[in-house]
Structures are given as C-alpha cells and as structure tokens.
Amino acid sequence: MALIVQKFGGTSVANVDRIRNVASLVKKELDAGNQTVVVLSAMSGVTNKLVSFCEEAAPLYDMREYDAVVSTGEQVTVGLLSIILQSMGVPARAWAGWQVPIRTDAAYGKARIETIDTDNLRAALAAGEVPVVAGFQGVGPEGRVTTLGRGGSDTSAVALAAALSADRCDIYTDVDGVYTTDPRIVPKARKLPRVTYEEMLEMASLGAKVLQTRSVEMAMKYRVNLQVLSSFEDIPGTLVCDEEDIVEKEIVSGIAYSRDEAKVTLQGVKDHPGIAASIFGPLADSNINVDMIVQNVSEQGRTDVTFTVPRTDLSRALKVLDCVRKEVDIRDLSHSDTVVKISVIGVGMRTHAGVAQKMFAALAERGINILVISTSEIKVSVLIEEEYTELALRALHTAYGLDAK
Amino acid sequence: MALIVQKFGGTSVANVDRIRNVASLVKKELDAGNQTVVVLSAMSGVTNKLVSFCEEAAPLYDMREYDAVVSTGEQVTVGLLSIILQSMGVPARAWAGWQVPIRTDAAYGKARIETIDTDNLRAALAAGEVPVVAGFQGVGPEGRVTTLGRGGSDTSAVALAAALSADRCDIYTDVDGVYTTDPRIVPKARKLPRVTYEEMLEMASLGAKVLQTRSVEMAMKYRVNLQVLSSFEDIPGTLVCDEEDIVEKEIVSGIAYSRDEAKVTLQGVKDHPGIAASIFGPLADSNINVDMIVQNVSEQGRTDVTFTVPRTDLSRALKVLDCVRKEVDIRDLSHSDTVVKISVIGVGMRTHAGVAQKMFAALAERGINILVISTSEIKVSVLIEEEYTELALRALHTAYGLDAK
C-alpha cells in the first residue's frame, strides 16, 4: 500500500463538475489499494479576484490582511471535494492550513513552510479517511493565516509529501506533463517521460510555468518523487526524479524561453575598480533582480555594460540608474523591453562539450543576433530580439535532435 | 468613552466601495471618542452562491464541510475593511471566529455560541486597534469551523456586545429601522423610535426580516442596547430596549405578516383521547414545525383539525399524514399554500382588552374571512387567504391608529 499526495490546480477544480472529476481520480488511487492525501488550489480565477479586491481596497495593503482574504478560495474547494467524496462513500474531511497545522514563518504573502505537524493527518489516514488539505496556506507564528506566494499549492503538496514520507507526489494540472519546449510554438515538441530535479528547476525558473520553482527545490532537497500529469486525460505524465533514475539520458532535455526580461545597456562607462558595485549596488538596494550581465572594454578607459532586469521592474531600474549617473560617468543609456531569453537545458552538458557552440551556430544560420549570453553548469541562455522567439525555438529544437519522429 | 459594537450586513459590504462607506461609519464613532468592535457579514449574494455550490456537490451534504465552505465569505469582507481602515490611518485587524475565539457547540450549520474569549479583543482595543470580526462563524469543540445559521451575524454582534459589556450594539442594514408594518405595502407605515425586546422578538419570528430571532433573544437575555439603523442614510434608527425605557407606549406597536405558512385541514377525524398525539407526534418526529392549531367538534364522535406548517415543509407533511391515515380514521384531508398569517403585536395588550376584537371587526368590515386564530400574551395572529394581504395590513394599520399623520 503506497501513500500518494495528489495535488490539483485551479483549472482542475474550476467548478463543481470538475471537482467531481477530481473525486474520481482520488477514488481510483483508493481502488488501487493506495492511501491518498489531497491538496487543492482555489477555483481558477478566484484568487485573482480576491487579489483585485485587496488592490481596490488600498494600493498599499497590509500583507497580513491580504493573506486573510486570498486564503479563502482553497477553503471552498476542499470543502466541496470532501462533500463529493462522502457522497461516493469515501470518508473525507477538509483541512485548512491552521487546522493541520502547516506552520510557516511570518513572511505574509510569500511565507515559507517551517514545520508540518502530521499527527492529525496520520490519525485521519489510519481511520481510513482522505484528508483534503487547502493548498497555498499555513499559519504563522502569531496564529494568523499566511499564504505561500502564487503557485504555492505545489509547495504545499511537496512539503506534505516530504513530511509524510509519501511514495509519490502527483501534480495534476491542465497540461499532461513537461515538454521539450512549448508545444504551442513547436508542434514537434515531445513530452519527457522523466526529467531531473535540476533540469526541472531551470525550466521552472525560466518560464515553463508547470511547477512553482520552490516546490521543485523542496522536492529535490527531500527527494520527493514528483509526477506532473493531466487531470483530464488518463495518459502517463512526466516524472521529476534523480539523475540516476533516468536511463536514457539526453544531452539537452529541453528549451525554455522567458519574455519577462528587459535589457539595459550602459555605453561608455568610465572604468575604474568598484564601478560594477556602484552600478549594481543601488539596483540591489531597490530589490531589483539583475540577471544576465556582460561587460566589454569599448575604448581606452571606458567600458560597455549590458544586463537584464525583470520587465516589470524596468521603469524602476531606469529611475535608479538616473541617480547612479550623478555619481558615475556614463556616456549613454539605452534599454529595450522587446527581448526574449532562450535557454537550452540539460544535465548532459556537464559531460558533453560543444552544446553552446551548437546553439550559436543554429541561431547564426537563421540570421538571429545574440545580444547577451550567460551559462551555468546545466544551461546556456541567450538574449535575442523577441520577434525571433518562435524561429529560434524551432531551430534549436531541431538542432538538438529533440523533434518527435 | 463608550464601547460600541457595529454590525454591517451583506448589502452594506456588497462591494469595495460600500466597504469604504462602512469604514467611514467606523471612523465616525472613533472621532466621537468611542471604541468600536466591528462585525461583518459576507458580500450580499456570496453566501447563497457558496450554499448552492454545496447543494450542487451533493444533495445530502455533511454540515461540517458546508460550514467550512460557507464561512469563507465573511473572512473576505473583514480583511478588506481592515485594509481600508489602515489606509485611513486607523489601526485595524481582521479576526476569524476561531482566532477570537468564539466557541460554539457542535451543531454545524446552526451552532449556538457557548463562550467568547474576550482577552484578544480587549488587548487589541487597549492597543488602540479596531477589531474587525467575521460574523456568522465560530469554532466548535473539535476545532472545526461552525456557522450560526442564516442571519447569524446579528447573533455574533449581540454576543460580542454582551461578552464585552458594550454600551450599544448597532445593527447597520439596508432599512433604516423597524416600522409599524411593511412600508412597501402600507405607505403610511411609521418608523418606531423604540420597540421592546418582546415585540421585536415577535416581529422577527413573524417575518419582519430586520433581525435574526436568536439575536433578539440574546439581546433580551443580556439586556444589550440594540439599535437598528441605515448604512446609507444618516438618520436615527430604532432602539430595541426594555419596556421601562419606552415613555410613550402604544397598545399595538406593529403589524407583521408571514407568507411562509401553509394550512392543512383534517375533516371528520374519528375522535378519541390521544388523537392529537397520534397526528402531531409523527410530524414532530419528522422535524416539521406545526404552528397554529385549531380543533372543533364537527358531528358526533368526529372532529375537524386545522393547523399550519412551514410552506417549504408542506409536501413532506402531506407524506407523513398519508402514513397517519393508515392508523387514524380521517374522512378528508385538504391543504392550501395560498394563505398568509397576519399578526398584531404590542406589549400594551397585556393591560388593554379588546385588541383582538378590534382586529376581527376591521377584517370583517372588509369581508375578509378568518381561517385560523391564535393568540399569545402580546400578539394576535390570524390566518387569511393570501390575496387579502395588502388590504388586511392597511385596514389594521388604520384601525389601530398607526398611520402616519
């Protein structure tokens, strides 16, 4: 008898009929002789509506009150699923975060889970009951409700799987797994039967919005067997697992893209030691996350610096840089928010040379100009003009031999 | 410095703009030098929607899960009001029932408040904070969320006022007070400046839907000064208070009506001792609340019995009576759901004779036939055909001298 944590996202619980479908997927695990703990998101659209109420109430709202408001969506879905399971003869009970309890720190709006007391849930399981737990929420040190940030229900599920030493954590969603790239853009994209935690982490943080990044980090840390699969189709999904558990390793397993970046270029910066700190220090102080950075010598004593910031932070970044120019001699400042970051990801890169070179060649062949390059152990990212996104993805997908036969 | 409990109903918090209006009414009490504890309902329509979700999930839903679902509406409005108050510079915090805690019994769906621990709220008040408490909810003995039944936020407010020994409990609503009768039907209806607990109790239970019956019972028990007033207009409301606090006493203070009744008549029931028990016992066993009962001898050894049941329970009552007929010899059974109960209410009846007679005369004058009569210490109720409702209300309103000048 295995213990499974089953997590269902917003589109899977969008209305009572969909929740009925969720109940049948829970029943299926029970019929297979397994125990299950269910974690649910709010009905799709509900959390957005609650957030917009808070914004309408006051632009600078107290995050503790925000959490009290936005945590209510999950309490509705867990109650409804429990009612439906009971009507099918399956004993079930809804659990709010504070009832489990799932204890978090006091970082309202983006709290981190600290401990999960599993006594109540274990007792419920032992009594043959299905615990249906509200995702995305916990209780903070002051006894107030906290939320875990957008997509936090994935983290709730993985944390519960870790705390209960579950055999598997199944993340049911509206896509049927993790693909080599976005199938809406590249029709030849293939579903990956398995992907490593490290690769999934890069994909998640690079804009493949299947799983919340923090949930993958936590799964990796506690070695939780994570599976991404469809609520709507009964087909195999993608297993996120250890590198050793993957038999047929590809050098490159996926190509991700992110349109959330903006590029800033400082030309003719008067160069001297400490210049990078005087530019990036003020940006960091303003909580602006600088991602890719390149610096080149341009002429004697002057240098060009290009970097990316989140697109939503661009105007703030430009204001900070206006102040910086009072201290630092910068000849010219330009920026663009029509760029895209394309990343090639694969644990096989560690042992195979030439992965980056193949990327550059494939892009050059299509006449696509690379604006910025950055690399890590298992990924190569380039910044290009946004209009080439689809062309670049298709070219790279073919170049790395990922196309479906 | 007075301590006021201010309660706002669903239409008063129907959207963020209306909640802003509530915030200004809270601010007004503070500016007058008072302390205030606020109790809110859910946005109008939200609780109904949550109830319909439960009904859609399963017709026979578990009341514990129902409570988990329907209690979420109030958590949204208390968070939003706290955000708005803070944005006005007023320290405020939202409190869910379990956080106060408001402890109830385990009668999920219609729980009764047992104790309110006021330490948290008193500490908040002492710190200059406005506690904004979710109405309609508490926490049961098993640590699960309970709700108090429809209109339960009134009861939450009165219970908090009693527990905190508040100077006043103001119930803000979409009507501006308690009227001598329904002003939509009788344009000459007058707002009552004061009404006794006993009268209010009769009016509430007879269909004047201004206050939940249980909240009036509790206000009477703990002598809470209860005021009904408008959220939208700054005019005096109605004070519900002790008889001694009313200077100008009227014999009849109001005329209420209820369309929630249905009439059942059993003709030619073979009479013998215990016959009433064998008819009404099975109805009570089925939780059907029988209200008015009359019994007359019709011919030798046979009697006619007429009584009323809630209109929503009529078909169930008829089924029960079908079974009863197997045991009891009943010649004929008829029923009607086109009846209305009209009640004349006033504490002055205790000391004045002829109140009932005036009613019968006024109705007879208009040719309105009385089907059933029942009386209590401070009220006379009659059942008539529904089509005469408006005519009867206007005739009685004039007959008792209640018309506005």
Let me know whether B401 and B254 are in one domain. Answer: yes
Bridge-partner residues for A332, per DSSP?
A267
Is residue B248's pLDDT more than 80? no
Name which of B17, B52, B53, B130 to mutate to probe chain A: the one with the most chain A Cβ atoms within 10 A of its Cβ: B53
Which residues, in sequence order, are CB contacts of B337 under 8 Å at separation 6+?
A: B262, B263, B311, B314
Q: Residue A90 class from Cβ within 10 Å (0-12 exposed, 13-18 middle, 19+ buried)?
A: middle
In the structure encoding, which two tokens stand for residue A361, read together?
């060649």
Let me know whether B278 and B395 are in one domain. Answer: yes
Q: Which residues of A touch B69 (CB under 8 A)?
A: 75-76, 79-80, 83
Q: What is the mean pLDDT of residues B106-135?
A: 96
Domain annotation covers residue A135? yes
Query: Which residue has better confidence, B214 or B84?
Result: B84
Last residue of a domain, one of B159, B174, B189: B174
Domain annotation covers residue B195? no
* Pair B73, B50: CB distance under 8 Å: yes
At B207 the pLDDT is: 62
Question: Cβ separation of B57 and A143 shorter than 8 Å?
Answer: no
Q: Which residues of B touch A72 (CB under 8 A)?
A: 72-73, 75-76
Question: Cβ separation of B58 and A84 shorter than 8 Å?
Answer: yes
At B164 the pLDDT is: 98
Question: Cβ separation of A57 and B83 shorter than 8 Å?
Answer: yes
Q: Which of B68, B69, B80 sits opposite A57 (nearest CB)?
A: B80
- The CATH number given to whatever domain includes residue A45 is 3.40.1160.10
Closest chain B residue to the Cα of A16, Cα to Cα = B57
Question: Cβ separation of A50 and B99 shorter than 8 Å?
Answer: no
Strands B379-385, B339-345: pairing kind: antiparallel
Let me know whether B166 and B279 are in one domain. Answer: no
Last residue of a domain, one of B134, B150, B174: B174
Domain, as residue range, for B134: 3-174
In the structure encoding, which two tokens stand for residue A79, read together?
């109650």
User: If pLDDT is split at 50, 70 and 90, which confidence band does A208 have?
Assistant: low
CA distance B99 to chain A (A): 7
Name which of B76, B129, B142 to mutate to probe chain A: the one with the most chain A Cβ atoms within 10 A of its Cβ: B76
Q: Which of A56, A60, A83 sits opposite B62 (nearest CB)?
A: A83
Torsion over CA: B76, B77, B82, B84 (sign):
positive
Strands A35-40, A130-134: pairing kind: parallel
In the structure encoding, which two tokens stand for residue A97, read together?
């975060």
Percent of chain A with pLDDT over 70: 99
Q: Which of B53, B56, B80 sits opposite A69 (nearest CB)?
A: B80
At A245 the pLDDT is: 83
CA distance B86 to chain A (A): 8
In the structure encoding, which two tokens stand for residue A281, read together?
């220090």
At B208 the pLDDT is: 63
Q: How far apart are CA A399 and CA A363, in angstroms?
A: 10
Closest chain B residue to the Cα of A70, Cα to Cα = B76
Q: Which residues of B touch A52 (CB under 8 A)?
A: none
Q: Mind listing the pLDDT tens digit for each residue in A74-129?
A: 999 999 999 999 999 999 999 999 999 999 999 999 999 999 999 999 999 999 99
Last residue of a domain, one of B153, B174, B195: B174
Q: Which of A16, A71, A78 sits opposite B53 (nearest CB)?
A: A16
In the structure encoding, which two tokens stand for residue A9, read together?
């996202």
Q: What is the mean pLDDT of residues B116-127?
A: 97
ω into residue A101 within 30 of 0, thus cis? Answer: yes
- Locus of tokens 């579903």: A191
Name which of A18, A47, A66, A83 to mutate to probe chain B: the one with the most chain B Cβ atoms within 10 A of its Cβ: A83
At A264 the pLDDT is: 95
Question: Cβ separation of A94 and B56 shorter than 8 Å?
Answer: no
Q: Which residues of B touch A54 (CB under 8 A)?
A: 79-80, 83
Q: Mind listing the pLDDT tens digit for each residue in B197-223?
A: 999 998 877 666 788 889 999 999 999
Domain annotation covers residue B277? yes
Let me know whether B265 and B132 are in one domain. Answer: no
Is residue A237's pLDDT more than 90? yes
Percent of chain B with pLDDT over 90: 77
Let me know whether B19 and B128 are in one domain. Answer: yes
A50 touches chain B (CB under 8 A): yes
* Pair A324, A371: CB distance under 8 Å: no
* Pair A343, A380: CB distance under 8 Å: yes
At B274 the pLDDT is: 81
Domain annotation covers residue A232? no
Is residue A207's pLDDT more than 70? no
- The CATH number given to whatever domain includes residue B261 is 3.30.2130.10
Torsion over CA: A360, A363, A368, A370 (sign):
negative
Q: How far apart are CA B393 and CA B179, in angstroms?
A: 13
Domain annotation covers residue B23? yes
User: If pLDDT is split at 50, 70 and 90, which confidence band does A174 have?
Assistant: confident
Question: Cβ separation of A82 and B94 shorter than 8 Å?
Answer: no
Domain annotation covers residue B336? yes
Question: Cβ separation of A80 and B64 shorter than 8 Å?
Answer: no
Q: How far apart are CA A38 and CA B8, in angstroms?
A: 36
* Pair A192, A175: CB distance under 8 Å: no
Q: How far apart are CA A215 and CA A196, in angstroms?
A: 14
At B348 the pLDDT is: 85
Count CB neighbours of B235 within 10 A: 10
Domain annotation covers residue A120? yes
Is residue A229's pLDDT more than 90? yes
Rounded to whole angstroms, the maximal C-alpha distance in chain B is: 79
Let me know whether B162 and B248 are in one domain. Answer: no
Question: Cβ separation of A80 and B65 shorter than 8 Å?
Answer: yes
Q: Mind listing the pLDDT tens digit for each residue in B316-375?
A: 999 999 999 998 999 999 999 999 999 999 988 888 888 889 999 999 999 999 999 988
At B271 the pLDDT is: 83
User: If pLDDT is split at 50, 70 and 90, which confidence band does A244 have?
Assistant: confident
CA distance A388 to chain B (A): 44
At B160 the pLDDT is: 98
**What part of A 117-156 touches B (C-beta under 8 Å)?**
143-145
For chain A, count helices (H), then strands (E).
12, 20
Let me know whether B157 and B263 are in one domain. Answer: no
For chain B, count helices (H), then strands (E).
12, 20
Q: Report the Cα–Cα distance between both ends of chain B, in Å, rounded.
A: 38
Q: What is the mean pLDDT of residues A42-62?
A: 95
B65 touches chain A (CB under 8 A): yes
B204 touches chain A (CB under 8 A): no
Name which of A53, A84, A108, A142 to mutate to probe chain B: the one with the most chain B Cβ atoms within 10 A of its Cβ: A53
Q: Mind listing the pLDDT tens digit for each residue in A149-171?
A: 888 999 999 999 999 999 999 99
Domain annotation covers residue B197? no
Question: How many domains is chain B built from?
Answer: 2
Let me know whether B57 and B170 are in one domain. Answer: yes
Q: Which of A62, A80, A99 sits opposite B53 (nearest CB)?
A: A80
